[in-house]
């Protein structure tokens, strides 16, 4: 007779303590060989659980009923492959936040398997250099919010991201892409409402084709010092009511204000230092 050994936790406290406590408990138990027959882990009642990399060593593990998962790791790309495989099998997952840092607490390589099978995933936050860029090409259609930071993607990911038909919020932060040009093609991002573009140091030209970003409401551009101008295509966005320019060069702000005051009626331009 097969014996099923589950592990459930219902620590509803917020803050870092519950997640760290359950992570430390699992790490010690795995090291001592206490969970050899464990095949179910249910951490739905734990706020931001931190799971140990050694979790992949539990050969009996079949199901992790996680809805939300947040992990910060200090592992090489090869060490990240085992947890990346079981993350890709978390079919109940709704929110995923992953940060990869080195010993100096600086962003490092972040390895992930394709996540297209996670049909319930609605929010994803990735900080670190994506060692497997195909991840961006295989994100699930269910996503409504995406944050990419320090991804250092060498190819323009906007065509793939623009096909995510349920996406409402997109945050592109600090070196998410190393290219000089960014293009939002026609019919892309049909439901996007909020777009934040921060610290893209190499970005010089941004093109928005007619028919893209049709219901965009809020846009913030921050610390993109090489960007020459706001895309002409934005003048077609009748729903866009707010444009924030934060820590942008004075010359850029002056050009934008002068030009867009003529072509974009009803658009509020907010300039912040």
- Note down pLDDT in tens along the chain; length 273 residues: 445 566 666 666 766 677 778 778 878 877 777 766 666 666 656 666 666 666 666 655 555 667 888 777 777 888 888 888 888 988 889 999 998 888 776 778 999 999 999 999 999 999 999 967 788 989 999 999 999 999 999 888 899 999 999 999 999 999 898 889 999 999 999 999 999 999 999 999 999 999 999 999 999 999 999 999 988 888 878 888 889 999 999 999 999 888 877 766 667 889 998
As beta bridge partners, residue 221 has 197, 245
Phi, psi of 235 (to 5 degrees): -65, -15
Spell out the residues 6+ positions from residue 28 whose beta carbon is closer than 8 angstroms to its own. Answer: none
pLDDT of 4: 53
pTM: 0.80
H or E element that contains 26: helix 16-31
Distance from CA of residue 17 to its chain's centroid? 24
pLDDT of 1: 41
As beta bridge partners, residue 170 has 146, 195
Query: How far is Cα 238 from Cα 9, in angstroms, rounded to an integer?
Result: 48
Query: How far is Cα 57 from Cα 106, in angstroms, rounded to an integer?
Result: 28
Give the CATH architecture of domain 73-272. Alpha-Beta Horseshoe (3.80)
Dihedral, CA atoms, 230, 161, 202, 102, nearest 10 degrees? 140
Domain boundaries, the chain: 1-65, 73-272
3-state secondary structure of 136: helix
8 Å CB contact between 173 and 149 = yes
Query: How far is Cα 32 from Cα 39, in angstroms, rounded to an integer?
Result: 17
8 Å CB contact between 82 and 56 = yes
Per-residue DSSP letters for 239-273?
A: T--EEEEES--HHHHHHHHHHHHHH-TTPEEEEE-
Query: How far is Cα 89 from Cα 113, in angstroms, rounded to an integer?
Result: 10
8 Å CB contact between 91 and 85 = no
8 Å CB contact between 152 and 129 = yes
Q: Where are the alpha helices (DSSP H) in 133-185?
A: 134-137, 158-161
Spell out the residues 6+ positions from residue 58 whose beta carbon is closer than 8 angstroms to its own. Answer: 30, 35, 36, 38
Q: How many CB atoms lie within 10 A of CB 60?
A: 14
pLDDT of 119: 96
């Amino acid at each position: 007779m097969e014996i099923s050994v589950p592990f459930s936790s219902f620590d509803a406290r917020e803050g870092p303590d519950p997640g760290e406590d359950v992570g430390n408990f699992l790490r010690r138990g795995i090291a001592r060989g206490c969970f050899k027959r464990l095949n179910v882990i249910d951490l739905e009642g734990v706020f931001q659980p931190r799971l140990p990399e050694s979790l992949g060593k539990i050969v009996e593990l079949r199901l992790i009923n996680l809805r939300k998962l947040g992990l910060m790791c200090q592992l090489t790309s090869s060490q990240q492959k085992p947890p990346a495989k079981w993350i890709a099998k978390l079919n109940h997952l709704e929110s995923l936040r992953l940060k990869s840092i080195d010993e100096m607490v600086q962003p490092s390589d972040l390895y992930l398997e394709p996540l297209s099978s996670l049909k319930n995933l609605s929010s994803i936050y990735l900080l670190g250099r994506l060692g497997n860029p195909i991840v961006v090409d295989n994100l699930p259609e269910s996503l409504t919010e995406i944050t990419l930071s320090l991804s250092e993607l060498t190819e323009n990911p906007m065509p793939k991201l623009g096909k995510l038909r349920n996406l409402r919020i997109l945050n592109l932060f600090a070196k998410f892409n190393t290219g000089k040009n960014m293009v939002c093609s026609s019919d892309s991002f049909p439901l996007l409402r909020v777009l934040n573009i921060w610290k893209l140091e190499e970005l010089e030209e941004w093109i928005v084709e007619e028919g893209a970003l049709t219901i965009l409401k809020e846009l913030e551009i921050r610390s993109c010092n090489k960007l020459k101008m706001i895309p002409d295509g934005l003048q077609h966005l009748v729903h866009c009511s707010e444009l924030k320019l934060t820590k942008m060069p004075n010359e850029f702000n002056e050009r934008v204000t002068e030009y867009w005051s003529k072509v974009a009626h009803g658009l509020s331009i907010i300039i912040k230092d």
